[in-house]
């Protein structure tokens, strides 16, 4: 019943697997059971660990020799059951799918061996990377990218061999036209080729970035400027790679741009803001207005450290330890303070008011002490105090101080204010609040009569 259903499937062509008798099926099943049992009981792991090294090596070798003889014996048994010699067994299709794909033992063997080689090669490269990193202080990131690139090349080689062994059916699938662009047929094979090339370019650029970063760190160069240079290099490499890729598949980049000019104009009006961000990103990268590591303050009172400068957006780490993605046009169109452009020292201040009648010299002394006792404040130049004004309800002072790290200056200001409040309380200096005196010169007589 099952055999009749299988043979009636569209495109079915019988191989030797479905042409066997019941007795042959029984013998093959028995061989499979014997193989599983024999392989399980011939594991080298069953050797006791207490055995000396020489005997252990001898027994392990004996186990593998037994396995080899065992496999050869089973293989000869299979050939005897099928009535085939070795070349006929590996070359004769087990079954043929869609009348075009012959699935032979040799085809299956190449597939299994290919996957096994990928697995073994991956483990081997991984071990070599770990040993190289320990011996030569090699950056594991470089090794990881090299391993991925080597695996990609091996996958391409093995995939090419496997496709040739698969026959004309698989090759026809990869050569079938999906659509065309400028009279160039786009097939599944071209799409796979494009994806592999793009993946290889991405791995190559990542490898270059890791090596470049390591070189910058070893030379002690400015990381921010170096990151900006590499961003420009990365985009240039991508442009060159895409142009070469399009040329390799037969697409003329000039004709492609000319034919899509009207579409680009239409899209330009619809996504004008997006193009604005890209142009702003190019301006930032070429002019070096903002670099990785800079502390910036945007007009919206957003203060943060630049973590990454991209072509469309930039990433900023705020004082709240939150990474914000900021469109690049904000850095070009808004007023931006780049605190890292200043000298190594930057001056800040804290305002405070005291009650009328306070000892102003004592206030000056306490303000300077409150600032200078903070470890973040630089002692030279020394903090100083300005008596700014006679306010409506207070004497207004401002204490100035210098710091080198501006990113968390608001926390420092808060600490100084806490210290000022403590010292004022200890020395009887009062911080006033707005109050008004009301003087009534007339009107009391009428109020008294009503009462």
CATH of the domain at 349: 3.30.70.100
Residue at which a domain ends, from 293, 310, 340: 340
Model pLDDT for residues 66-95, shown as the tens digit of each residue? 777 777 777 767 767 666 666 666 656 666
Looking at the structure, tell me whether residues 323 and 274 fall in a common domain. yes
Looking at the structure, tell me whether residues 281 and 320 fall in a common domain. yes
Looking at the structure, tell me whether residues 95 and 4 fall in a common domain. yes
What's the total number of domains in the chain? 3
Looking at the structure, tell me whether residues 84 and 2 fall in a common domain. yes
Q: What is the pTM of this model?
A: 0.49
Instruction: Determine the pLDDT at residue 8.
Output: 40
> Mean pLDDT of all residues in the chain?
75
CB 279 within 8 A of CB 232: no
Note down the domain range covering 57: 1-103
In a domain, 182, yes or no: no
Looking at the structure, tell me whether residues 288 and 267 fall in a common domain. yes
3-state secondary structure 232-292: HHHHHHHHHHHHHHHHHCCCCHHHHHHHCHHHHHHHHHHCHHHHHHHHHHHHHHHHCCCCC
Percentage of the chain modeled with pLDDT above 90? 14
Domain of residue 316, CATH code: 2.30.30.60
**Rounded Cα gap, residues 321 and 304, in angstroms:** 9
Model pLDDT for residues 332-367, shown as the tens digit of each residue? 888 888 877 766 788 899 999 999 989 999 999 999
In a domain, 150, yes or no: no
């Amino acid at each position: 019943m099952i055999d009749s259903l299988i043979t009636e499937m569209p495109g079915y062509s019988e191989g030797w697997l479905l042409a066997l008798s019941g007795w042959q099926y029984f013998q093959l099943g028995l061989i499979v059971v014997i193989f599983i049992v024999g392989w399980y009981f011939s594991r080298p792991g069953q050797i006791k660990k207490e055995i000396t090294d020489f005997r252990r090596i001898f027994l392990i070798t004996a186990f593998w020799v037994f396995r080899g003889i065992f496999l050869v014996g089973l293989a000869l048994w299979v050939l005897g059951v099928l009535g085939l010699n070795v070349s006929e067994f590996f070359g004769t299709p087990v079954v043929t799918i869609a009348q075009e794909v012959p699935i032979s033992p040799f085809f299956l063997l190449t597939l299994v061996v290919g996957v096994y080689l990928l697995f073994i090669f991956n483990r081997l490269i991984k071990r070599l990377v770990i040993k190289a990193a320990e011996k030569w202080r090699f950056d594991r990131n470089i090794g990881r990218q090299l391993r991925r690139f080597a695996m990609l090349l091996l996958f391409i080689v093995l995939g090419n061999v496997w496709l040739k062994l698969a026959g004309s059916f698989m090759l026809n699938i990869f050569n079938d036209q999906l659509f065309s662009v400028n009279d160039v047929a786009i097939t599944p094979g071209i799409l796979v080729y494009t994806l592999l090339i793009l993946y290889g370019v991405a791995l190559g650029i990542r490898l270059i970035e890791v090596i470049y970063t390591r070189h910058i760190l070893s030379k002690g160069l400015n990381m921010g400027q170096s990151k900006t240079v590499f961003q420009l290099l990365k985009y240039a490499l991508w442009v060159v790679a895409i142009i070469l890729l399009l040329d390799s598949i037969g697409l003329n980049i000039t004709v492609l741009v000319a034919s899509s000019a009207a579409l680009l104009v239409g899209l330009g009006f619809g996504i004008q803001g997006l193009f604005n961000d890209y142009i702003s990103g190019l301006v930032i990268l070429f002019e070096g207005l903002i670099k990785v590591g800079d502390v910036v303050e945007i007009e919206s009172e957003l203060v943060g450290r630049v973590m990454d400068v991209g072509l469309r957006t930039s990433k900023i780490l705020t004082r709240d330890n939150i990474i914000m993605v900021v469109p690049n046009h904000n850095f070009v169109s808004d007023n931006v303070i780049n605190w890292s452009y200043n000298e190594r020292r930057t001056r800040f201040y804290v305002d405070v008011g005291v009650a009328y009648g306070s000892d102003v010299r004592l206030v000056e002394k306490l303000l300077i002490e409150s600032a200078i006792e903070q470890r973040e404040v630089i002692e030279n130049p020394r903090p100083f105090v300005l008596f700014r004004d006679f306010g409506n309800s207070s004497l207004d002072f401002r204490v100035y101080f210098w710091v080198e790290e501006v990113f968390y200056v608001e926390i420092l200001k808060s600490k100084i204010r806490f210290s000022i409040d403590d010292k004022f309380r200890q020395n009887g200096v009062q911080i006033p609040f707005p109050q008004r005196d009301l003087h009534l010169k007339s009107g009391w007589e009428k109020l008294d009569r009503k009462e």
